Amino acid sequence: MAHVNHPKSAAKRHRQSLRRGERNQARRSAARTAVRTAREAIAAGDKDAAAIAVHAAVAVLDRTAQKGVIHDNNAARRKSRLMHQLNTIGTEAAAPVVRKKKAAKPKATRAKKS
C-alpha cells in the first residue's frame, strides 16, 4: 500500500487518542470493580461494610463522570441503584428486581383494498 501523506497534527491526535483511551479504560474498569465490590458487600448482608463499599463506589463513579469517561446521568443512575440496594438490606426487597419481558403483541393486519 502506498504511503499516504497525513498531516503531523493527525498523527499527534491519534497518539493522544490512544493514550486517553488507555486512561479511560482504566478508569472505567476501576468504576466497574468498585460497583461490583459494593454489590458483593450488599449481598453479604453486613450493612456497615456495605455502606463503606458503597461510599467508595460513589466516589469512584463521581470521579469517572467528572473526567468525562462516563456520562453524568450514567453515574447518577448507578449510584441511585447502589443506594437503593444498600437501603434494602435486611428487608424482603433486598433481592434484585427481575423484570419480566412483555409478551409480544400480535401485529394488526390491514384489510387489503380491492
Q: What's the structural domain count of the chain?
A: 1
| Domain span including residue 24 | 14-91
Residue 62 domain flag: yes
Q: What is the largest CA-CA distance in the chain?
A: 72
pTM of the model: 0.71
Residue 79 domain flag: yes
Residue 112 domain flag: no
The predicted-structure confidence for 23-81, as pLDDT tens digits, reads as follows 999 999 999 999 999 999 999 999 999 999 999 999 999 999 999 999 999 999 999 99
Q: Which helix (H) or strand (E) holds 69?
A: none
Residue 46 domain flag: yes
Under a CB-based contact definition with an 8 Å cutoff, are residues 41 and 50 in contact?
Answer: yes
Residue 9 domain flag: no
DSSP string across 32-50? HHHHHHHHHHHHHT-HHHH
Residue 8 domain flag: no
| pLDDT classification of 98: cutoffs 50, 70, 90 | low
CATH number of domain containing 86: 1.20.58.110
Residue 47 domain flag: yes
